[in-house]
């Protein structure tokens, strides 16, 4: 069996050696050791999770990658089921590559005899599998029965990207299977392996975005770790790596990012940081051109993504100039592609689908021959699989921006509800009725899955974005008449009498994207001057909850002295959790408020470190 094993090691090294960027890998060699998923991780959009926790690690306990599968103490046993979580674009697949490569070279985890890496993207291409066939697909070089990994001592099965699996795992209805030769539904196979009915000798390592990891009952998870985002020094290294040949540009981009607190927090996610950095660099390069009307420094999400798409459409990657005619042809082809990819993105988002196969592409009328253009490689990535290639957007937010572009364009002429894919619904006419419909759908989405889509849709109505994209993807000045009514629709989400929800905070962010900042500015001014008392209507409470995340006034300390009533305190509870330093003097609190605060301080999500 030795030559087979050698072949396995070589194939692993060659498959994961590609695309490993040394730039920011140091961060992945230490993972956070966490107790389980927090409330916000289970229920909210990845981007919102990062904004709320301000990109800071939730715990100070870490574990080095080389000890990930070892016992924590001399008396404990190694974990059988390990789960590593991380938001979209934080580096989960890169971490797996890093581990597999290190193991194949004999640098880490030498006590593991076999490492068998699989992705849920691959598993999606099978309807049924047996445990034995699963192992063979991960390790095609080992064919002789008995010499295979199933019988070997310590085997590690890696299942990367649970959030990309086409079927939710249902542990409450697992049909028990203990026969490794029996072909069963793939989701059932995975639940049986995790439950220990199959391959109980093997260790299993699952990676996932946080919310999807909640499918695995916490009682079955022996060890949960989390990938942390980029720290300050790492962000600088990461950008130096993105702009290899240009230190000046790298530091200019970093300055822009640091000057914008909301953006800086999101740039702790490498996948997002790369998009923002390319965008800002493109803006800096063109900000001296007189031909460009807009010299808006991109600060909102929609502005950043508009620059990114404009750069992608014009094929301008800060590289060589092309002749005008070829550019025009390329742009027209690109516009067609963006249209069809947008539909795929939108319905994918509704069905929680982030990986697509050839039949999906054909169903949405996407011309596969166009997918080799430079544009699509910036937006859509392709991974070859034995059965059918898999396509996926280069970051979740790219899918969300494309979806918003599609919805915006389609809403102008659609006569039925676009959220019903079959198109059979009550008639709906006019852009604004479609916009209101999207606001309602986003409010009802339990896990905030439409929150960022909604921000982009709002942002497409802002004047700077319209200037940037008019003639490319939008018509000039068409948004003017809709803007004020869109503001009204979003403000309708802020009137809730009870608790300020994350949906309301997101509606405030949508208003920011739309460049309507009056409410937030008034509340921020009152915070500065200490005149908040008596101002906190439901709408202003929502604005305050939003400012707790983004305002510099709350950076060192959140001062809510002399302004909180019991009801206001109650409505802001879930938001106050994330203030590091909180000042609540002279609020004449009664016992009931003290009880409320007590319940907050003992919560798993609580990040309060100082309370006055």
Asked whether residue 35 carries a pLDDT value surpassing 60, the answer given is yes
281-334 pLDDT per residue, tens: 999 988 876 455 556 689 999 999 999 998 888 775 544 455 556 666 767 777
Above 50 in pLDDT, residue 146?
no
235-279 pLDDT tens trace:
999 999 999 879 999 999 999 999 999 999 999 999 999 999 999
Per-residue pLDDT, 326: 64
CB atoms within 10 A of CB 604: 14
Residue written as tokens 């790369």? 274
Picking from 156, 191, 186, the residue whose alpha carbon sits closest to that of residue 171 is 191
Report CA-CA distances (Å) from 143 to 69, 148, 150, 152, 195.
27, 7, 11, 14, 26
How many whole angstroms separate alpha carbon 284 and alpha carbon 454? 27
* Of 86, 101, 73, nearest in space to 27 by CA: 86
Q: What is the chain's length?
A: 612
Report the share of the chain in percent with pLDDT over 70: 92
482-503: per-residue pLDDT in tens? 999 999 999 999 886 678 889 9
Evaluate whether 168 touches 353 at the Cβ level (below 8 Å).
Answer: no
Is residue 513 over pLDDT 50? Answer: yes
Contacts of 143 (CB under 8 A, 6+ apart): 4, 136
Calpha distance 468→93 (Å, rounded): 34
Domains delineated in the chain: 3-229 (3.40.50), 345-476 (no CATH), 484-611 (no CATH)
pLDDT of residue 295: 63
Residue 266: predicted pLDDT = 97
Q: In 3-state terms, what secondary structure has residue 579?
A: coil
State the pLDDT at residue 404.
Answer: 97
Between 121-135, 565-579, 595-609, the lowest mean confidence (pLDDT) is in: 595-609
Cβ neighbours of 573 (radius 10 Å): 16
What pLDDT score does 316 carry? 59
For helices 518-529 and 538-550, angle between their N-to-C axes, nearest 10 degrees = 80
- On whether the CB atoms of residues 237 and 251 are closer than 8 A, the answer is no
What per-residue confidence (pLDDT) applies to 296?
65
Whole-angstrom distance, CA of residue 534 vs CA of residue 56: 33
Q: Select the more confidently predicted residue: 445 or 87.
A: 87
Residue 144 has pLDDT above 50, yes or no: no
Structure confidence by residue, pLDDT tens digits, 358-413: 999 999 989 888 777 667 778 889 898 888 899 999 999 999 999 999 999 999 98
Q: Cα 415 to the chain's mean position, in Å?
A: 32
**473-509 burial string, b = 16+ CB within 10 Å, else e?**
bbeeeebeebbeebbebbbebbebeeebbbbbbbbbb
pLDDT of amino acid 574? 84
Give the predicted TM-score (pTM) of the model.
0.93
Gap between the Cα atoms of 247 and 6, Å rounded: 42
Task: Give the Cβ contact number of residue 38 at 10 Å.
Answer: 19
Provide DSSP, 534-566. Answer: T---HHHHHHHHHHHHH-GGGTS-EE-TT---H
Q: Which residue has the higher pLDDT, 569 or 117?
A: 117
Which residue matches tokens 């590690």?
156
Q: Rounded distance, CA 599 to CA 502, Å?
A: 19
Number of alpha helices (DSSP H) and beta strands (DSSP E) in the chain? 26, 15
Coarse DSSP helix, strand, coil percentages of the chain, rounded to the nearest 5 percent: 50, 10, 40
pLDDT in tens, 20-30: 655 557 889 99
Q: What is the pLDDT of residue 185?
A: 97
500's torsion region: left (phi>0), alpha (psi -120 to 50) or beta? beta
Alpha carbons 560 and 44: distance in angstroms, whole number = 26
**Strands of 180-333, DSSP E:** 184-185, 203-208, 223-226
DSSP sequence for 490-520:
HHGGG--SSPPPHHHHHHHHHHHHTT--HHH
State the chain's mean pLDDT as an integer: 88
Mean pLDDT over 419-443 rounds to 88
Q: Could you tell me the CA-to-CA distances from 26 to 65, 250, 276 in Å, in that order?
A: 10, 20, 22
Query: What does the pLDDT read at residue 320?
Result: 47
Per-residue pLDDT reduced to its tens digit, 174-223: 999 999 999 999 999 999 999 999 999 999 999 999 999 999 999 999 99
Percent of the chain with pLDDT over 90: 57
Average pLDDT over residues 13-34: 77
Higher pLDDT, 356 or 325: 356
d(CA 93, CA 90): 9
pLDDT for residue 9: 85
Give 427's DSSP letter. B
DSSP, collapsed to helix, strand or coil, labels residue 305 as helix
Strands 203-208 and 81-85: parallel
Whether 138 contacts 118, CB under 8 Å? yes
């Amino acid at each position: 069996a030795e030559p087979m094993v050698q072949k396995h090691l070589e194939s692993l090294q060659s498959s994961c050696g590609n695309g490993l960027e040394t730039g920011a890998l140091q961060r992945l060699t230490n993972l956070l050791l966490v107790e389980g998923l927090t409330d916000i991780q289970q229920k909210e959009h990845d981007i919102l999770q990062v904004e709320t926790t301000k990109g800071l690690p939730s715990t100070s306990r870490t574990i080095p990658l080389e000890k990930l599968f070892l016992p924590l103490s001399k008396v404990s046993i190694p974990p059988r089921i390990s789960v590593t979580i991380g938001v979209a674009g934080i580096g989960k697949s890169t971490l797996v590559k890093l581990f597999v490569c290190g193991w194949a070279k004999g640098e880490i985890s030498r006590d593991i005899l076999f490492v068998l890496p699989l992705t849920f993207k691959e598993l999606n291409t099978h309807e049924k599998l047996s445990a034995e066939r699963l192992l063979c697909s991960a390790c095609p070089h080992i064919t002789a029965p008995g010499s295979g990994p199933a019988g070997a001592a310590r085997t590690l099965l890696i299942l990367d990207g649970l959030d990309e699996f086409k079927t939710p795992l249902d542990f409450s209805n697992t049909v028990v299977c203990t026969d490794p030769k029996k072909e069963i539904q793939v989701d059932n196979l995975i639940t049986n392996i995790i439950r220990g009915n199959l391959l109980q000798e093997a260790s299993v390592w699952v990676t996932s975005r946080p919310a999807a990891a909640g499918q695995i009952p916490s009682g079955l998870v022996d060890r949960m770790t989390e990938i942390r985002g980029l720290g300050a020094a790492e962000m600088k290294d990461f950008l130096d790596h993105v702009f290899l040949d240009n230190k000046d540009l790298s530091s200019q981009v970093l300055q822009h990012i640091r000057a914008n607190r909301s953006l800086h927090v999101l740039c702790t996610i490498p996948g997002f940081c790369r998009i923002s950095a390319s965008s800002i660099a493109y803006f800096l390069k063109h900000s001296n051109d007189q031909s460009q009307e807009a010299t808006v420094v991109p600060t909102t999400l929609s502005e950043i993504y508009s620059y990114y798409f404009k750069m992608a459409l014009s094929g301008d990657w800060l590289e060589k100039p092309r002749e005008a005619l070829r550019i025009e042809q390329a742009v027209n082809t690109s516009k067609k592609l963006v249209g069809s990819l947008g539909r795929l993105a939108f319905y994918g988002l509704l069905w929680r689908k982030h990986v697509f196969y050839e039949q999906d592409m054909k169903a949405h009328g996407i011309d596969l021959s166009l997918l080799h253009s430079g544009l699509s490689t910036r937006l859509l990535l392709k991974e070859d699989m034995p059965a059918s290639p898999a396509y996926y957007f280069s970051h979740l937010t790219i899918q969300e921006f494309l979806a918003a572009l599609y919805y915006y364009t389609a809403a102008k002429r659609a006569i039925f509800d676009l959220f019903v894919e079959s198109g059979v619904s009550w008639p709906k006419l006019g852009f604004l009725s479609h916009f209101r419909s999207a606001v309602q759908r986003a409010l009802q989405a339990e896990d905030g899955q439409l929150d960022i889509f909604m921000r982009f849709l709002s942002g497409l109505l802002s004047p700077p974005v319209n200037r940037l994209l008019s003639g490319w993807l939008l018509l000039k000045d068409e948004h003017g008449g809709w803007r004020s009514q869109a503001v009204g629709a979003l403000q309708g989400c802020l009137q809730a009498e009870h608790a300020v929800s994350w949906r309301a905070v997101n509606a405030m962010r949508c208003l920011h994207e739309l460049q309507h900042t009056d409410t937030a500015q008034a509340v921020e001014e009152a915070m500065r001057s200490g005149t908040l008392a008596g101002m906190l209507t439901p709408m202003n409470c929502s604005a305050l909850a939003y400012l707790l995340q983004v305002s510099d006034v709350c950076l060192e300390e959140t001062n809510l002295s002399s302004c909180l009533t019991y009801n206001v305190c109650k409505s802001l509870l879930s938001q106050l959790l994330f203030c590091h330093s909180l000042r609540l003097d002279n609020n004449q609190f009664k016992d009931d408020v003290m009880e409320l605060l007590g319940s907050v301080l003992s919560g798993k999500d609580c990040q309060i470190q100082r309370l006055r």
